[in-house]
A = this chain, B = another copy of it.
Amino acid sequence: MVNFRKISEAIQFATDKMKKNGLFETERFFCDLYCFEPDQSQAAHTHEGSDKIYYVVQGRGSFQIGNEERDLGEGEIALASSGQKHGVTNHGPGRLVLLVFMAPKPSH
């Protein structure tokens, strides 16, 4: 089992859409690194029975949680609880890197 990772070595972007890079996965949760080029998004969606956290590692993004929309930069963090709609957009001009934590792992 790998117990230690370096974020800088896990960062990968994709040209067609935002890229999810797995850091850790257990029976109980996953921890990913989401990488957005400018104008890439994660469309707003909902998970029933799972909670998710977004932490901004690099850049700036627009976060929708429930009915609220907020711009967050490095060192800011957002919670989307079970049933709360959530999505992210990188309006640019820089890249956006998020640490994402979700428990329990969704079944879809």
Contacts and interface: CB of A to CB of B under 8 A. Distances in A.
What bracket does the count of chain A residues touching chain B fall in? 35 or more
A48 to B, nearest CB: 12
Copies per complex? 2
B3 A76 contact: no
Interface of A, helix, strand, loop or mixed by DSSP? strand
A76 B66 CA distance: 31
A88 to B, nearest CB: 13
Interface stretch (A13-21, A38-46, A49-57): A49-57
Given A101-B29, A101-B101, A104-B103, A53 B24 contact: yes
Contacts of A93: none
7 contacts: A7-B76, A26-B51, A26-B81, A26-B82, A29-B51, A53-B101, A55-B55
Contacts of A24: 53, 77, 79
